[in-house]
Each structure stands twice: as C-alpha cells, then as structure tokens.
Structure 1
Amino acid sequence: MSSHVLAVGESLVDVVHRPDGSVAEHPGGSIANVALTLGRLGRDVRLATWLGRDERGDSVRAWLAESDVALAAGSDGAERTSVGVATLDDGGSATYEFDMTWQVPPGAAAGSDTLAVHTGSIAAVLEPGSSQVRALLEAARATSTITYDPNARPMIMGTADEARGRIEALVALSDVVKVSDEDLGWLYPGQDPVEAARAWLTAGATGSSGQEGPAVVVVTKGGDGAVALTAGGDVEVKAPSAQVVDTVGAGDSFMGALIDGLWGNDLLGAARRDALRAVGPEALTAVLERCVAVAAITVSRAGANPPRRDELGG
C-alpha cells in the first residue's frame, strides 16, 4: 500500500433548504468532505465511514469514487444512510439538524503507511463511534500525524458544557487542529476566539493523555481569513473575495487543503512530528494561502464542491 491519509468519520446526505423554498440533496458529511477535497487535490485518501446499502448510500459512494476516495472495508454496514438537513439563510450560512447513526467500521486502523489520520465533528462525539475514534487515534499516534476539526454541530452534540470535555481531550491527542471562530465562540462564550485556541497549544501538557498538545492550531474566520498559532508565533492570512452561494463544506475543504499542504511540505507522519512543531512562518503562510483559496472556491458553489488541483494552478 502507498502512503495515504485515513479519514475517520461521517458520510451522509445533506438535504438543503434554500431561502427561495427550493430543496436539493447533496452527498456530504464533514469527514467525507475532507476526504473528497484530498482526493480532488490528487492525494491517496481512505475513508472509514458508516453508510447504508440504500439509494442515498449509493449516491454517496458514487460521489466519493468520482473523486478517487477509497472506502475502508466494512464502511457499508449501517442500516440506513444518515441525513443532515441544512437550512440556509439569506447570506448562505447553514443551520443543521441530523438523523444519523455512527460507528467506526470493524477493522479500520492506521498502518505504517498512514501518514495522517483525520477526524472531527459528529464522529468524534457521537457514541458508540466516538469512543472507537478515540481508541483509533491513540493507537495511530505511533505512526501518524493526528489532525482534528471539532466542527461543532450543537443540534446533535448537546450543550457546549457537554461537548467541551470530549473536544478538549481530542485536541490534546492531536498534532494539528483546525477550528472556526464560531465554534470557539460556542465552546468558550465571552472569550476571544484566538486566545481560547491559543490555550489548546499546551492542552496535552495538563491533560490526562500525557501528550504535548498540538503543534499547530488554525482558527478560521470566514471571509476574514485564518490565523495559525504555533509555539514559534502566529501567521495570519486574508481570504480572497468570493461570491458566496452557500458555506456548506467550506471549512471541510479548508481542512483538506491544510492536510494537503502539510503533506506537500513533508510534515506528515509520526517521524516528522518535530519538524511539524518547528514549521516556519514562510511555509505556513503558503499553506494557509492555498487553504483560503480552496475555501473561497467552495463557497462560490452550491453544496460541498471543492476544487480540483488543476483549478488552483498545480
């Protein structure tokens, strides 16, 4: 097997209600969107997910296959394919409701050729799968970079008080965390989002995991760009202007581009953990600039529809 990224988490069908009253269905799911982005950027990516053998599951499988995303064995074991109902406001922002089940497919694990394992969102907090995700990440740290995006969904995660402990435990296990300012505002009301994220840089030092905490925490700020926090200092980039159709999948496409950029800089894999921690501002700026470019293209399109590498000029 070749070097690859393993994405672990939900795939589903987004039923999108638009302000004009129209309704459309799009395959999606936070972790599936990240895998799709990596596939479109030409990366070898495997998705461990939980789909039904039904019409909606068939649509998700076809959507993933068209972007060269391979499914881990056993990913079709669900009784039915999960559904997320997204209601868009006049600005294109979405609120969500979910009808879903989640577990890690049997046998899913990182191997010696797994450069990174990515997870987040619903898969990281919804039982029984969330405990399985945590165990998989703990084992994968021996070989792989761990990347995580909380991508909060309060409708299914419960209150911030209920979700915060699980999210912080996964932050402490991770090497790279991407989080939106909106998610931080939900988790830590009244705090400056960037300063709340800065505390995560040392999360492992005081956590029960015994890990060092993440090397890089990236805070996305929508149309205002993104800032990456490291022990060596902060790097901030502005977002290019974009005509927003909707924001579905924008953060996930940013996350996929972030993993792609770190891969391109030879910063993935457990053996590169020290190099990742020492990443310089020039390399990190270039990575973030590609991330905001990818996200800008995604918001200009309906649904989770990230660009392919040739749309980015290489």
Structure 2
Amino acid sequence: MTGIIPATTPATADGTTDGEARTGSALVVGEALIDVVNRPDGTVDAHPGGSPANVALTLGRLGRPVRLLTSFGRDAYGEQVRAWLDESSVELVPGSDDAERTSTATATLDATGSASYEFDITWPAPEAPATPSSADGSTTAPLVVHTGSIATFLEPGAAGVLELVRAARATSTITFDPNMRPSLLPEPDVVRPVVEAFIAQSDVVKASDEDLAWLFPDVDPVEVAQTWLGLGTSLVVVTLGGDGAVAVTAAGTVRVDPVRVDVVDTVGAGDSFMGALVDGLWHADLLGAGRRGALAAIDDRTVEAVLGQCVRVAAITVSRAGANPPRRHEVAATEL
C-alpha cells in the first residue's frame, strides 16, 4: 500500500494526533435519512444514513468539531437519526428536525456487496445557519463547508445550497462530492451544468469513477478531473473502487493503491473516504479561506499521505456492515 499515514502516529487524549490544528469546525449541508438495506440472503436492515450525514459522522468519529444542516422529521426514524448523530458528536443546526417526515433510501445489495438505490426523499430550501458563538461571545466561521449528493440536485433545496456555499467561500474552504443518484436525476446533459456550478464554487472535489462514467460516458476519469481543475478547484480526487484513488492538482497526478480487505458491503465507503479527505487536509493545515493559496499549491507528498489515510478509512468501513466509519483510534490500531 502506498502513502498510508502510519498506524503508529501518536494520538492525544482528545483523539487528534500530534501536530494537528485543534481549532475550527466543519459545517456539512445535506440529507440525513434512513437506509433500508435488502441483503442477498433476504434479511432487511434499517439504519441512519445519507451521504452528507455520513461525511459528518466520519468527521465526528475522527474527533473533528462538526455541525450538520439537514432535514428530518420528529418521528421514529428521525429519533433514530438524531441518536446516531449524537453518539458520534455531530451537532445539529437548529431547525434540522422540522420536516414533516424522515426520508428513506432503499438499498439492494448484490452478491459482491455493491448497492443500488431507490429513494423516498424531500429536500427543502435550507436557511444559512448562524455562526456559533464561543464562551467569550466571539463567533468563528467554519474552516470548511461540505455538501453534495441529493441536497445539491433536488429542488427546492438545491438552489439554496448553492447560494449558501457561494456565500461561505469568503471564509471557508468548500468541498463537494456529487455522489449522484441517477434514479433521482434527469439525463446527464441536464445534470452536468449543475455539477459544474458547484465545482466552480469548490476548492476540493471528490467523485467516484461510477459518477464520472454516468456523467461522461467513455471519457477517462483523469481527463474529467483535469477539466474540473480548470474550473477553479484546487484538488480533484476520483475514487476507483478496488483500484484505489487518483488525485489531480496543479502539480500533477497522484495515485494510491487500495487496501485489500474482505468486503461486507460498500454502503458509506465513499462518504467515509470524503470525511477522511477533509480530515487529512485539516491535519495538513490547508483549510479555511486564508489557506486557499496553500491548498492550491499542495505538493504530491502531502496528497499521497492524505489519500493514504482516505483509503485506509474506506477499507475499514467496507469491512463491516452498513455506513459504519471508524473512529480515530481504530484507524491507528487496525491492522489491514
């Protein structure tokens, strides 16, 4: 395996590692829902999920202060979502539980553990959250704002999410994962301009090779990433499933190999990778609008180290059932 951050990296009592910035917070914007998983053996599980919520959960489990702006109901499913987030130290932005009901996504797994989805979801226009106050009464904008998936395509909320990230660029790094759900979307020709509008506001973009194959049939994923880099983003990462990941920056292209594990299912793998990507850039002190120039100049060695942790986190996630990303001590301790 190339570029993995060593498992012996010393951890401090608060869950961070020596040398990491411990200040600042993340804001994640997007859907939280209940995943109903139909397994090949006929069993059915219901557990909380949603791509942005999974990213927030990953950050919380890695010890990062994180808030989630979302929409779910005060029903039984909603209480399940709330308890799941709270257990991983994800703070809800006030009003996130005001929906009439909690949305669902039904995932059907094939024999390899890969999932196909059907959705029953609504996504209202989000209101930009107030910046939280510290004990001394001061306010600090988040270092990073992440969004993606259904929240960036489904109206009436998608347009509001775009306006929110546009405004947040003045203070925060913007990260975006389209994580597209074709069953909810029109034709790729209609979706491409929406994706590119978000990319134009983003500093970091992560997409899967499956996303790119749907959006740009017969185009090499690295070529797409290079095109997206030209829209103004600083780092584009493409996950390649069992072939690892590739990143494109102004300095060039970096590839990392996957970590080989026995796959239970792939639910949440890309989201845990995304959370680890934000965490790795946080560790490298490359988040916040004031660090935009440094992020644009990121070197290959830093990219390789960050992606190494990302594939490690994703490997742990796929080795167990459901969207169940690891905590920081598990990343450090697990032999893969």
TM-score range, shorter chain: over 0.9
Moved more, 153-162 or 16-25: 153-162
2:281 is matched with 262
Alpha-carbon distance in structure 2 between the residues aligned to 1:277 and 1:197? 15
Unaligned runs of 5+ in 1: 204-212
1:128 is matched with 156
1:284 is matched with 303
RMSD of aligned C-alpha atoms? 1.2
1:88 is matched with 109
**Contact kept? 1:4, 1:116, Cα under 8 Å:** yes
1:182 is matched with 210
Give the letter for the 2:84 counterpart: W
1:17 and 2:38 aligned: yes
Match of 1:8 among 2, 16, 29: 29
Question: Within 5 A, what are the aligned runs for 1:1-314?
Answer: 3-108=24-129, 112-203=140-231, 213-313=232-332
Cα deviation for residue 153 of structure 1 reads 0.2
Which secondary structure state, in structure 2, belongs to the residue aligned with residue 6 of structure 1?
A: strand
Identity of aligned residues (%): 63
Moved more, 225-234 or 96-105: 96-105
Q: Output the TM-score relative to the length of structure 1.
A: 0.95
- The aligned length equals 304
- Greater length-normalized contact order (CA 8 Å, ≥ 6 residues apart): 2
**Contact kept? 1:73, 1:105, Cα under 8 Å:** no
**Contact kept? 2:261, 2:315, Cα under 8 Å:** yes
**Contact kept? 2:125, 2:155, Cα under 8 Å:** no
Alpha-carbon distance in structure 2 between the residues aligned to 1:106 and 1:73? 10
**Deviation digits for residues 100-152 of structure 1 (CA, Å, limit 9, x no counterpart):** 11124434266743100000000001011101100001100000000000001
Alpha-carbon distance in structure 2 between the residues aligned to 1:55 and 1:164? 36
Which secondary structure state, in structure 1, belongs to the residue aligned with residue 143 of structure 2?
A: strand
**Contact kept? 2:128, 2:164, Cα under 8 Å:** no
**Deviation digits for residues 67-97 of structure 1 (CA, Å, limit 9, x no counterpart):** 0000001001110000000000110000101
Alpha-carbon distance in structure 2 between the residues aligned to 1:263 and 1:104? 29
Cα deviation for residue 31 of structure 1 reads 0.2
**Contact kept? 1:181, 1:194, Cα under 8 Å:** no
Alpha-carbon distance in structure 2 between the residues aligned to 1:109 and 1:137? 14
**Deviation digits for residues 178-229 of structure 1 (CA, Å, limit 9, x no counterpart):** 00011000000111111112100012xxxxxxxxx11000010011100110
Unaligned runs of 5+ in 2: 1-22, 132-138
Cα deviation for residue 297 of structure 1 reads 0.5
Q: Structure 1 residues 24, 168: CA separation in 2 closer, same or farther (over 3 Å shift)?
A: same
Give the letter for the 1:239 counterpart: P
